[in-house]
Amino acid sequence: MSHDPWAFIGPGCDYSSSPVASFTTHWEVPMVTAGARAIGFERFEAVTNTGPTHNKLGEFGQKIQEHFGWRRHAMLIFSDNKDANDDRACFFAVEGLYTTFGRHNVSMHDYIILDDNVDYQELVQEIQDHGRGQHQLTSSSLS
């Protein structure tokens, strides 16, 4: 700040962009980045994202459903395992679809699988049995 910057370029990852976005918003200096794709960055007025955001991914998914007239939805399952850098690659990407579909009256249910020894055939059968909104899927119903 001692050199009176007119903009910050970068950083390129969601995790490092968060504190920089907080400071640049406070200092009223724009931040231009291809990172900061997570939905939470919408609250920072000083952030300009030059790349695709996860919110746009959600809007794209919704437009595909509208275009083809799809009225039934599948469950989206992803791995939330952290890598060696403590990064969760799928978490923010799925966030865009999850929040956009939720705003368009798509019932969303999530289930956390912590055990590596999962009987996927039983899990899929449970989803099929309860996938019409009759019962909410809970961890106790699958144990």
Query: Which of left, alpha, beta for 36 (phi over 0: left; psi -120 to 50: alpha)?
Result: left
- Which residue in the block uniquely carries the two structure tokens 């952030």? 47
Question: Which residue intervals of 44-135 are DSSP H helices?
Answer: 54-68, 89-103, 120-130
- 3-class secondary-structure state, position 47: strand
CB of 16 closer than 8 Å to CB of 35: yes
- 3-class secondary-structure state, position 40: helix
Task: Indicate the domain borders of the chain.
Answer: 1-51, 53-138
Residue-by-residue pLDDT tens, the chain, 143 positions: 677 889 989 888 878 888 899 888 888 999 999 888 888 888 888 898 888 888 888 999 899 988 988 877 665 666 666 667 667 767 778 888 888 888 887 777 666 777 778 888 887 887 777 766 544 444 444 44
Chain CA centroid to CA 20, Å: 20
